[in-house]
């Protein structure tokens, strides 16, 4: 059974677009894997920012929101539509866990928490901008066929959700 899983995993890796690989896998691993060695609160907070707030609360949510606009095209696949709604509900719970934790850390120590969140953002936001350039060059048709928007539209949704998530934890006022 392990051999079959490894073969599927290898095939998925070969077909992963470079933008998803960089933002969703490489950067996620870079920020979350230190938890294997360090179990301190700061490392945990930054992993929560990357995984729950940005990975699930921004990237995954942007994909789900944009894909949901295409459900009318899938009327012959009610199971797929129902499944996507369940995934969205589950993601909302994960986002809530991350937001609740990060908001509590912001309330307890806003200066330290802001610095830790800013460190993550300073690393990831420039990467996201570079990946937009690459997506515009290499992945425009894929974005339109999958999400109904060009890469710039996907990026706008990502930035809109980033703003919402940062406001929800108190990182941005207003």
Provide the residue ranges of all domains of the chain, joining segments of one domain with +.
18-168
- Calculate mean pLDDT across residues 125-143: 70
For residues 93 and 60, give the distance between their C-alpha atoms in angstroms, rounded to a whole number.
13
Confidence of residue 150 (pLDDT cuts 50, 70, 90): confident
Residue ranges in the chain assigned as alpha helix (H)? 2-14, 18-20, 27-32, 41-48, 61-68, 78-108, 110-138, 140-147, 151-168
Give the fold, CATH level 3, of 18-168.
Ribonucleotide Reductase, subunit A (1.10.620)
Q: Which two tokens stand for residue 2?
A: 């392990």
The answer to whether residues 84 and 67 touch, using CB atoms and an 8 Å cutoff, is yes
Rg for the chain, CA atoms, rounded: 17
The answer to whether residues 157 and 65 touch, using CB atoms and an 8 Å cutoff, is yes
In the prediction, which pLDDT does 58 show?
84
Say which residue the tokens 């969703």 belong to.
24
- Calculate mean pLDDT across residues 116-140: 79
Report the predicted TM-score, pTM, of the whole model to 2 decimal places: 0.80
**CA distances for 75 relative to 82, 106, 141, 142, angstroms:** 11, 44, 23, 21
Q: Which two tokens stand for residue 174?
A: 């207003």
């Amino acid at each position: 059974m392990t051999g079959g899983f490894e073969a599927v995993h290898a095939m998925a890796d070969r077909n992963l677009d470079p933008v998803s690989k960089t933002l969703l896998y490489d950067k996620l691993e870079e920020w979350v894997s230190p938890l294997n060695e360090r179990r301190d609160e700061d490392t945990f907070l930054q992993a929560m920012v990357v995984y729950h707030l940005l990975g699930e609360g921004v990237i995954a949510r942007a994909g789900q929101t944009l894909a949901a606009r295409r459900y009318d095209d899938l009327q012959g696949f009610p199971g797929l539509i129902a499944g996507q709604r369940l995934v969205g509900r589950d993601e909302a719970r994960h986002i809530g866990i991350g937001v609740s934790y990060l908001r509590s850390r912001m309330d307890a120590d806003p200066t330290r928490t802001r610095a830790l969140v800013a460190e993550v953002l300073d690393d990831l936001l420039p990467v996201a901008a570079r990946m937009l350039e690459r997506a515009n060059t290499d992945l425009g048709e894929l974005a339109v066929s999958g999400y109904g928007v060009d890469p710039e539209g996907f990026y706008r949704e990502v930035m809109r959700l980033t703003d919402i998530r940062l406001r929800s934890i108190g990182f941005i006022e207003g």
